[in-house]
Chain A
């Protein structure tokens, strides 16, 4: 038996619609997951450290004014204070574990530059750009945040173009950021 042309058309349309929906679904799930905070090795609370204890960002991310990478705190940096503090929370207990095993904490960075981008914290921090300008109010979050600011090239350029006239050419040249 031969299928009529309308049956064929219907089947084709169904397949096309389903596959488009499928692609959209996969994309939506991917997009959703990429916006979630990644699981961290221990539930670190920025708010407590910044607002209650009053630590500056540079205390833990100590390389931000000295080099490209801001750096994640070493186990020693954490335990220097925490060995004086009775562990009460889950996070503190996990931290003790890492310290006792002399292991580094496998922090999952949330603000990652793509491989083809060159970015130096040092240059930006020394140009008096505050951490919050790019990273948002991390100090108010209670869990390791995902990026609160959308960091794409247009967002970088918006600032780079808005600089003293004699520096714009350098700051907007491709090789200033692309490596």
Chain B
């Protein structure tokens, strides 16, 4: 096995659209893990839902041969991220060590420039302070900051889980194993459509899957170099 660079990890996600059935388990799992606020009907109608992960539904074709395609959409953790250079206060940062786009909540002043520049519409903004009426707040994850009004947020690839796995591996004096880090969405997914891993590890499941001829990156022609790799669904034609 090739030696992995201990300074850098490159986390990638592979989403097999042929497996994905659009059930929404990942959407809810993400919200429950990451203390994502619910905003209610009216706010959602304004487009102020806080979903870090949503399932985009495309209609294809005309009645009666109409078909549906589902595509889970989340922060693509671009290597060349359009959100980063526009932040005036360096709250939207690129981590050299983990190769992730990170959001530093205490720096964010809510200009929303980053969201404006994101072609994947992956960022959500706290227009208000959203509450978890007691005792609903009991289930908030202590490993994830509870965001307040005026702050931009987005998918972190469950950085708290990455950190926990790395710490555990370090205490045991070994590298992080493939499959040890699972974001909440991948863990919940009933169809095993979402696979997560380290690109630096040549034997990882993500490397194997990414070699598929079905693989593509969404809007890669923009030069964003996303780290989410989709595998296209190829329906059988009758």
A residues neighboring B (CB under 8 Å)? 114-116, 118, 120, 122-123, 126, 166-167, 169-170, 173-176, 178-179
Which among A118, A120, A122, A175 is the interface contact of B95 at CB below 8 angstroms?
A: A175
Give residues 136-174 of B contacting A (CB, 8 Å). Answer: 143-146, 156, 159-160, 163, 167, 170-171
Cβ contact within 8 Å between B102 and A116: no
Q: Is the CB of B106 within 8 A of A114?
A: yes
Bitwise interface map of B from 65 to 78 toward A, beta carbon under 8 Å scored 1, else 0: 00000000000000
Known: A122-B171, A175-B159, A178-B105. 8 other contacts (CB 8 A): A116-B106, A118-B143, A118-B160, A167-B7, A170-B97, A175-B98, A175-B100, A175-B163
* Among A126, A175, A176, residue most surrounded by chain B Cβ atoms (within 10 Å): A175
Please report whether the interface of chain B is mostly helix, strand, loop or mixed according to DSSP: loop
Q: Please name the residue on chain B nearest to A173 by beta carbon.
A: B97
Chain B residues in the interface with A (C-beta under 8 A): 6-8, 93, 95-98, 100, 102, 104-106, 143-146, 156, 159-160, 163, 167, 170-171
Q: Is the interface of A mostly helix, strand, loop or mixed?
A: helix
Interchain residue pairs with CB less than 8 A apart (28):
A115-B146, A116-B105, A116-B106, A118-B163, A122-B167, A122-B171, A123-B170, A126-B171, A166-B6, A166-B7, A167-B7, A169-B96, A169-B97, A170-B97, A173-B98, A174-B93, A174-B95, A174-B102, A174-B104, A175-B95, A175-B97, A175-B98, A175-B156, A175-B159, A179-B143, A179-B144, A179-B145, A179-B160
A120–B97 contact, CB under 8 A? no
Cα distance, A174 to B105, chains bound together (Å): 11
Shortest 3 CB-CB distances between A and B: which pairs?
Answer: A173-B97, A170-B97, A116-B145
Q: Which chain A residue shows the least CB distance to B170?
A: A123
